[in-house]
Amino acid sequence: MEQVPNQNRADRSQRPLPRHVGIIMDGNGRWAQRRGLPRSAGHKEGAKNFKRIAKYCNRIGIQYLTVYAFSTENWKRPALEIKALMLLFKQYLKEALDEFEEENIQIRFLGDTSVFSSDLQELIRQTQEAAKKQTGMVLNIAMNYGGRAELVSAVKAICAKVTSGELEQNEIDEATISQYLDTAGQPDPDLIIRPSGEYRTSNFLLWQSAYAEYLFMDILWPDFTPENLEEALDAYAHRNRRFGGVTPV
Ligand code: FPP
């Protein structure tokens, strides 16, 4: 990770904070394997850390946090691992439902959640219902999410509107596409963090990340601490975001 001058660490309150942070929670399996544990033990630690980091982001004033919990490609994993992940989603969503209510966090879901078991879908429904009363950080949990699948759904929905005459083809612009994504109405991510030492974006927020700053960190997700997040925020504060323009002199 890039080096950040020390004096900036002293006064973090003056840093420009990203409004929207995305995290690819990667490295659970390796964390477990290094300890001679089953991969599911790594996911359990990862789920604990998900709660810790989400609460921390809310407390320091991040307005939107999106976590990648299960991708459209993760169904390729062994059945036992998928089963363990589904159990964890149920357990940790139940816990989050209570604890995040106290923290005023609004949970939303990205991805096609209609494929999950009926009890998990019911929990998702309850969580979304509870979120309507909250006003704090928006926490998007991406589950059965893939950026390409999200774009395919958006294209189909837009085509249906054109066919029914509700939308003119030449009215379609970038804002139209954004409105048909699961993140409709939310700002694009400013910073995407991928721990675990992998340098890939893995189908995460493909459209929305066009101008996101990326930070790849060589640490496994269960070991990722609030201080690691602070380091990422320090690095973000030093990035020169130009959005295709030039830096004013
Ligand atoms: C990637 O690590 C991680 C996942 C596929 C699962 C992430 C899920 C959680 C952290 C649980 C979150 C819980 C809720 C309720 C949102 P990996 O298994 O690919 O790690 P590896 O690359 O080391 O094998």
> pLDDT 10s per residue in the chain (249 long)?
666 655 455 578 889 999 999 999 999 999 999 999 999 999 999 999 999 999 999 999 999 999 999 999 999 999 999 999 999 999 999 998 888 888 999 999 999 999 999 999 999 999 999 999 999 999 999 999 999 999 999 999 999 999 999 999 999 999 999 999 999 999 999 999 999 999 999 999 999 999 999 999 999 999 999 999 999 999 999 998 788 888 766
* Token couple for 85: 């992940």
- pLDDT for residue 97: 87
pTM above 0.85, yes or no: yes
Beta strands in the chain (DSSP E): 20-24, 64-71, 106-110, 138-145, 191-194, 213-216
- Which residues are catalytically annotated? 26, 74
Where does ligand 1 bind, in terms of residues with CB under 6 Å?
A: 25-30, 43, 46-47, 50, 69-70, 74, 85, 88-89, 92-93, 141, 196
User: What is the pLDDT, as a whole number, of residue 241?
Assistant: 79
Choose among 196, 219, 193, 222: nearest CA to 205: 193
Q: Which of 43, 70, 72, 224 to mutate to test the pocket of ligand 1 (most atoms within 8 A of CB)?
A: 43
**26 alpha carbon to ligand 1 midpoint, in Å?**
6
What's the pLDDT score for residue 7? 45
Q: Is 151 exposed, middle or buried (0-12, 13-18, 19+ CB in 10 A)?
A: middle
Query: Ligand 1 centre from 122 Cα, in Å?
Result: 22
Angstrom distance (rounded) from CA 32 to CA 54: 22
| Entry field: residues in the chain | 249
Q: How far apart are CA 236 and CA 238, in angstroms?
A: 5
